[in-house]
Amino acid sequence: MTDARRLEPIGARADEPLRLLVAIPALNESATIADVVRGVPERVEGVGPIEILVIDDGSSDDTAALASEVGARVIRHPAPRGVGAAFQTALSYGIESGADVIVTLDGDGQFDPADIPKLAAPVISGEAEFTTASRFADPALEPDMPAIKRWGNRMMSRLISRLAGQRIFDVSCGMRCYGRDAALQLNLRGSFTYTQEVMLNLAFRNVRILEVPIRVRGERESGKSRVANNLWRYAFRTIQIIFRCYRDYYPLRFFGTLALILLAPAALLLGFLGIHYLATDAFTPYKWTGFAAAALGLMALVMFHLGLTGDLLVRHRTYLEEILYRQRLDARRRD
C-alpha cells in the first residue's frame, strides 16, 4: 500500500528552493576528480543551491586536495573503508545538512555529470522517489565492456529483480538520485559496496524506483575499479550482502524454503524405509534411513522455527524503522 506522504512532488511543501547534494565517493582518483567536480552543472531546473561533496575514502594521492581546489567540500576517511562506507558517509551528511535531493556518481569519469538534471528530474517532479542510471535499459546506449562483466551484470540484475519483485535492468550502476523520503528510509550495513543493498532496501519498502537510460563509459579512463577489479571476489562479497538482506526482510520465506529442502530427502528416506518394511517385515539393514530422516525432519523443524522467530523480529524492525524515519523527518522540519 502506497503511503500518502509520498504522493506529491518533492518540492510541493517546500518554503525554500530545494537543496541538491552531489556526492562523489573517490579513492585515488587524482587523474579525473577535478574534471568530474567541474562538470557538475551550476544550475538544475527545480532546485536552488547545489553542493558538491567528495568523500575521499583514504586516498594515497592528491584526490582530496584537487577536489577542494575546484570547489568541492571534502570529507576524508583516514583509511579505505569501502565504497559502501563512503556512500553511508555521504548519506549521513546529506540527511544532516538538509539536502532534499541527493545525487551520487563515481569519481572515475565513467559518468557524465551533465546527465545529473536528466537523472534528478523524475525525483524532483514526484514521478519517482529514487532513480538509477541504467546502462542496459536502452540497447542503443549499452557501453562497450568485457563480455564477462556484461554477463555478470545481467545475472546480478536478474537475481535482484526476482528478489525485489520488479524488472530492473541495471542494479550495479553508481550514478543515482535519492529523494529525501528515500534517503531517510535507508538503513544499510554493507561497507564493501552498496548498490544492490540499496535496491533491495528500497524495493522492500515499496519505494517508487525508476531507471533512467544514460550513456556511460564502459571502462575507466585510468586506474582500476576497487569493487569489480576481481570479479569472483566481487560476486562473492555481493552475494553475501544480498543473502543477508533477503534473510533479514523475508525470514519466514527464507527459512521456510530451507525447511522444505530438508523435508524432501527426509520424506524420501522415510518412504524408502516404509516400503522396505512392508516388503520384508523388518527395518534392517536400513535402520539408518530412519535415523537420517528423523535428523533431517528435526533440522527442518528448527529452520521453520527460526523463520517464525525471524518474522516476529521483522515486524518489530518495521516499527523501529518507521519510528526512525519519523524522527529523521521531524528533525528536518525543526531545522
DSSP for 172-224, written as a single string: ----EEEEHHHHHH-----SS--HHHHHHHHHHTT--EEEEE----SS-SSS-
pLDDT tens digits for 294-321? Answer: 999 999 999 999 999 988 888 777 777 7
Which of 274, 270, 320 is closest to 300 using CA atoms? 270
Of 226, 249, 272, which marks where a domain is finished? 249
pLDDT tens digits for 17-36? Answer: 899 999 999 999 999 999 99
What's the distance, CA 225 to chain centroid?
A: 18
Same domain, 231 and 266: no
Same domain, 69 and 81: yes
Of 214, 249, 284, which marks where a domain is finished? 249
* Set of cell numbers at residue 134: 541504467
- Which carries the bigger pLDDT value, residue 8 or residue 5? 8
Structural domain for 326, as ranges: 251-334
* Set of cell numbers at residue 65: 586536495
pLDDT band at 332 (very low <50, low <70, confident <90, very high): low
Q: Total domain count for the chain?
A: 2
Task: Kindly tell me if the per-residue pLDDT of 13 is higher than 50.
Answer: no
* Residue with grid cell 535492468, as numbered in its chain: 169
Same domain, 241 and 259: no
* Set of cell numbers at residue 10: 518533492
Task: Kindly tell me if the per-residue pLDDT of 327 is higher than 90.
Answer: no
Bridging pattern class, strands 50-56 and 73-76? parallel
Same domain, 12 and 156: yes
- Which carries the bigger pLDDT value, residue 9 or residue 118? 118
CATH number, domain with residue 208: 3.90.550.10
pLDDT band at 216 (very low <50, low <70, confident <90, very high): confident
Q: What pLDDT was estimated at residue 248? A: 81
Of 202, 217, 249, which marks where a domain is finished? 249
Same domain, 41 and 135: yes
Q: Which of left, alpha, beta for 126 (phi over 0: left; psi -120 to 50: alpha)?
A: left
Tell me if the pTM is above 0.95.
no
pLDDT tens digits for 58-82? Answer: 999 999 999 999 999 999 999 999 8
- Which carries the bigger pLDDT value, residue 181 or residue 146? 181
User: Is residue 77 within 8 Å of 55, Cβ to Cβ?
Assistant: yes
Bridging pattern class, strands 130-134 and 176-179? antiparallel
Task: Kindly tell me if the per-residue pLDDT of 2 is higher than 70.
Answer: no
What's the rounded mean pLDDT across residues 142-151?
Answer: 82
User: Is residue 37 within 8 Å of 67, Cβ to Cβ?
Assistant: yes
Task: Kindly tell me if the per-residue pLDDT of 119 is higher than 80.
Answer: yes
What are 211's strand-pairing partners? 132
Same domain, 76 and 181: yes
Same domain, 128 and 232: yes
What are 249's strand-pairing partners? none
pLDDT tens digits for 232-266? Answer: 776 777 777 778 778 888 899 899 999 999 999 99
260 DSSP assignment: H
pLDDT band at 6 (very low <50, low <70, confident <90, very high): very low
Distance between CA atoms of residues 199 and 130, nearest Å: 9
Same domain, 205 and 278: no
